[in-house]
Chains A and B, each alone.
Chain A
Amino acid sequence: MLKQRPFLIETLTAIGLIAAPFLLPHLGFAPNTVNRILVWGLFGLGFDILFGFTGLLSFGQSAFYGTGGFVAAYLLTRAGFSNVLGALIIGMIAAAVTGYLIGLIALRRTGIYFAMITVAIAEVFFFVEFNPLSDFTGGENGLPGVPTPSFNLGFTTVHFTNGWSLYQFIALCYFVGVIIALRIVRSPVGAIFSAIRDNPLRATAVGHNIHGYKLTAFVIAAAYAGFAGGLLGVLQAFMPPDAFTFDTSGQLVMQTAIGGRGTLFGPLVGAAVWLFLQDFLQAALGLGAAWKLVLGVVFVVLVCFLRGGIVGGLADLYGLVSGKRARPAAETEEEAEIETPQQAPPAPMQAKEVAHPAYSGPILKATGLTKRYGGLVANSDIDFSVNQGELRGIIGPNGAGKSTFFKMLTCEIAPTSGQIVFEGRDITGLKVTEVCQLGLTKSYQVNQLFTGLTVRQNLTIAALAELRGKFRLDLFRKLSGVKGLTEQVEHTLALVNLTRRADTPVSELAYGEKRRLEIGLALATSPRLLLLDEPLAGMSPRERVETVKLLKSIARGRTVIIIDHDMDSLFELVERVTVLQEGKVLLDGTPEEIRTNAAVQEAYLGGVHGEIAA
């Protein structure tokens, strides 16, 4: 929304931070409150990358907040360390390392399991702080006497003591935190984070090692938490043991949800609302202990009715006022009319370079492929071979095991027995991510898109997998700095005829357009072998004609296998057809042979004839 101008958000943040000491006192904020808000905001920057951007809701951030805080405080109070900034950074590193180790365990599972495991882990840290490590952490007394930072500049010494003076230091830390977070969010890694949030299955299938990226997000969040924890000690001149409590994690989650997840500034806004209301309700209204109940109710209401929190709500309001939301609907109708006269078809996209240039056998060869689900045999002893550059069709009645067969070929599910060889290389037992990286991927029968993102962002994520490999930590590289990315995305857009819809969110696309984007996602990884699972399903006759044209241009320069029920379209497209029935290969031949074959007619119509006869 504000992405056009470079450094706009950074500049606004700086202005806001500079103006705060002049404005906020008039609103009744004490400097100490503002400092606490900033510490929570910094804590929340990392958490928002984890939760808002990557979609991992952790209830255990207190573990890292406390770890960073106590390491820094211990160094400064007990170990005779005098460099405050240095101690904060060491604390941050300690928290990040802890985050890495904990992440290895917690990220073994996803969803609610992940949430439960993080809760349990944080609780362990709390008890460890209190008991086994109380000699180092001061147990329930915490660590008093944490000094404030001072910097010797040669000619003078700057000492940030407390109040607005300390504010300058904390605000600077927050500003640096914001700049780093913005860089991360705008990097290729940031793009993949949102892909994981929206559709982890597809992010894996287009060739990203999502476990590695999740762990990265987890470590980033832990690092931010660790630094913020250290700042808490500096701010209070005392490291409180309650940094480790479940309440700390809970408050962070609530503040982020109140302020708005996925916005980076949501946690700061949430913290401001939280601390302001806490003071206001306790002091001004004399509610005493009831303040937390009020905040709890506010939180529940917000989660129920305003999913994007305060910042998200304001953004929606801004969109509503500026009329941005009204346009897409009109565009859809308009588009339907212009769609038919397609411009000259774009040049076929280059597939990846061949891994073994010398290899000349069939690009794919499956032998004895079998899949059993308990007693149910989905695929039984399938032998299948496709040559380089071939355009192959697969047909078969519902339940013939076509989709299962595809899933095994792309290694999404493991075969019970049998072997798959891709370009002379045995890929049986590899992961779907690795297979995609080798140049074999598929489009899905049911759309698997990144629904919260735009068309361009969707294709970007797929293209990134090809251009960057399955895992790479270019956290500070701009998306535009990835060589060849723009070209590849533009090219794919043109190929699937979505150029004019490039900046439309997926949720606003028509069904046919989503279907084309589904193919585009597979295509943007530049596969040498592309499997299409019912690409024409659910399309109107006119859309089918368009899509068949599209498929023809896609098939130039690569090998394609298509499953579909629309035999007229399929027979027009492909060179050879394989017929599956009841999990077995029934027949293999040219479209003409298949059309006239009695066994195929029997497979499709036999049951019906039988019933009619009976």
Chain B
Amino acid sequence: MISWPNLVSQLFNGLALGALLALISSGLTIIYGTLGVLNLAHGAMFMIGGYAGFVAYQYTESFLIAVIAGSLFVMLLGVVMERVIIRHFYHRPHEDQLLVTFGLGICFVELVRLIFSSQSQLVPPPALFQGITNLGFMFYPTYRLAVVGIVAVALGALFIVLYRTRLGMIVRAGIEDSVMVDSLGINVYRVFMVVFGIGAMAAGFAGIVNAPVVSLTPGIGDDILVQTFVVVVIGGVGSFPGAILGGLIAGEIISVTSMFNPGYAYVMLFAAMTLVLVVRPHGLLGVQGRE
């Protein structure tokens, strides 16, 4: 069962999953870092990205359009959600924010279930990446390789937005001290709305990119949400590099453990999280003091 090619292919799987988790977690973490709101509907955002892309694909048969449509739809949804509901919760206790986003997540999942039923839906990978690639020492599904590349590009884009633009500077300043940013005369609320949109889009983009790898079901976001939490706890809340590092660690742990026994994947993931909590309570790359 445990052979060299098997291990390598699991490591590749871990890389693909880790890259996806990194992207989704970055979305969660920049929203939390900037707005102070932990979005429990983030898993639903991931799921909706997949479904929105699926609908677009059915009309256009173009994977590229599906990706764009899925991402934009979720971004729009995030902006509306922030504008209509989340905005009224900034000054309420954390528990209320958790409750309302949790409730919204359930509403989204059930709404999708109502429209598309619980049956799983399939989005085929784009023609360019279909089939299997010979890596010399083993064969590997081309699309999964492509996922790593696509997500890396997306993370790079997010990096540029966060670290090379004016908006990114404000966002990073906001993560450090949002009161200060507010008093500098920057309209924090508008920044919040944009950040929520971008964060949601990260999840939505991951959702549609992931769709050809696994089939779509309305509950697909729930597991992802839990894994994302572990990633954020490992990496450190509010840290973009932490999300990437945590994502890769979590992805590899899940994949490699699954090779031996899938039942233990979560146990190992949890053990890693516990270890980090004991040794570095604020996460590997987290900053002390932000709670």
Partner-B contacts on A (CB < 8 A)? 51, 55, 57, 59, 105, 108-113, 115-117, 119-121, 123-124, 126-128, 130-132, 246, 250, 253-254, 257, 289-290, 292-293, 296-297, 299-300, 303-304, 307
Contacts and interface: CB of A to CB of B under 8 A. Distances in A.
Contact of B88 (A124, A253, A304): A304
B106 interface: yes
Interface in B163-194: none
Interface stretch (B16-24, B63-71, B134-142, B262-270): B262-270
A145 B114 CA distance: 35
A221 to B, nearest CB: 15
Contact of A292 (B38, B98, B106, B291): B106
Contact of B261 (A109, A131, A250): A131
Which of A55, A116, A126 has the most B CB atoms < 10 Å from its CB?
A: A116
B281 A109 contact: yes
Contact of B98 (A112, A123, A289, A290): A112
B100 A120 contact: no
Interface string B113-132: 11000100000000000000
B110 A290 contact: yes
A299 B264 contact: no
B45 to A, nearest CB: 16
28 contacts: A57-B95, A57-B99, A59-B98, A108-B278, A110-B291, A112-B237, A117-B233, A119-B225, A120-B269, A120-B273, A123-B223, A123-B266, A124-B267, A127-B266, A130-B263, A132-B261, A250-B106, A253-B99, A253-B102, A289-B110, A289-B113, A290-B110, A292-B106, A296-B104, A299-B99, A300-B104, A300-B107, A303-B103
Contacts of A293: 107, 110-111, 113-114
Contact of B100 (A111, A117, A292, A304): A304
Contact of B96 (A115, A130, A307): A307
Contacts of B222: 246
Nearest to A51: B95
A254 B98 CA distance: 11
Given A113-B237, A117-B273, 15 more contacts: A57-B95, A108-B281, A109-B291, A116-B230, A119-B225, A120-B230, A120-B233, A120-B270, A127-B265, A131-B264, A289-B114, A300-B100, A300-B104, A303-B103, A307-B92
B226 interface: yes
A119 B237 CA distance: 16
Interface size range of chain B in the complex: 35 or more
B274 interface: yes
A112 B232 CA distance: 11
A606 to B, nearest CB: 28
A119 B229 contact: yes
A66 to B, nearest CB: 14
Contacts of B265: 127
Given A109-B281, A111-B291, A293-B111, A119 B261 contact: no
Nearest to A245: B222
Contacts of A304: 85, 88, 100
Interface of A, secondary structure class, is helix
Nearest to B277: A108
Which of A55, A105, A111 has the most B CB atoms < 10 Å from its CB?
A: A111
Contacts of B291: 109-113
Interface string B70-81: 000000000000
Contacts of B277: 105, 108-109, 117
Contacts of B274: 105
Given A131-B264, A289-B114, A115 B103 contact: no
Contact of A115 (B38, B104, B111, B114): B38
Nearest to B88: A304
A123 B266 CA distance: 7
Q: 6 shortest A-B CB distances, which residue pairs?
A: A131-B263, A293-B110, A116-B229, A300-B103, A296-B106, A296-B107
Interface in B237-278: 237, 261-267, 269-270, 273-274, 277-278
A351 B281 CA distance: 38
Nearest to B94: A111
B32 interface: yes
A120 B225 CA distance: 9
A257 B102 CA distance: 12
Contacts of B113: 289, 293
A246 B226 contact: yes
Nearest to A121: B270
Contacts of B103: 254, 296, 299-300, 303
A299 B107 CA distance: 9
A297 B107 contact: yes
Contact of B267 (A109, A116, A128): A128
Contacts of B98: 57, 59, 112, 115
A116 B106 contact: no
A257 B99 contact: yes
Given A292-B106, A296-B110, A303-B99, A116 B233 contact: yes
A120 B281 contact: no
A23 to B, nearest CB: 31
A296 B222 CA distance: 16
A59 B94 CA distance: 14
Nearest to A261: B95
Which of A110, A113, A131, A253 has the most B CB atoms < 10 Å from its CB?
A: A113
A112 B32 contact: yes
B96 A303 contact: yes
Contact of A127 (B94, B104, B111, B267): B267
Contacts of A57: 94-95, 98-99
B94 A112 contact: yes
Nearest to B106: A296
Contacts of A289: 110, 113-114, 118
Contacts of B104: 296, 300
A124 B104 CA distance: 24
B250 to A, nearest CB: 11
A296 to B, nearest CB: 4
A342 to B, nearest CB: 38
A507 to B, nearest CB: 14
A119 B105 CA distance: 15
Contacts of B96: 303, 307
A51 to B, nearest CB: 7
Contacts of A51: 95
Which of A115, A257, A296 has the most B CB atoms < 10 Å from its CB?
A: A296
B107 A124 contact: no
Contacts of A246: 222, 226
Contacts of A113: 233, 237, 291
A512 B273 CA distance: 47
Contacts of B267: 124, 127-128, 132
A57 B85 CA distance: 20
Contacts of A123: 223, 226, 266, 270
A314 B97 CA distance: 23
A132 B32 contact: no
Given A113-B291, A128-B267, A132-B263, A303 B226 contact: no
Contacts of A110: 291
A298 B62 CA distance: 38
Contacts of A254: 102-103, 106
A108 B269 CA distance: 18
A296 B237 CA distance: 28
A345 to B, nearest CB: 40
Nearest to A122: B226
Which of A289, A292, A300 has the most B CB atoms < 10 Å from its CB?
A: A300
B190 to A, nearest CB: 22
A299 B103 CA distance: 6
A174 B237 CA distance: 40
A246 B229 CA distance: 14
A483 B267 CA distance: 48
A291 to B, nearest CB: 9
A31 B278 CA distance: 47
B163 to A, nearest CB: 22
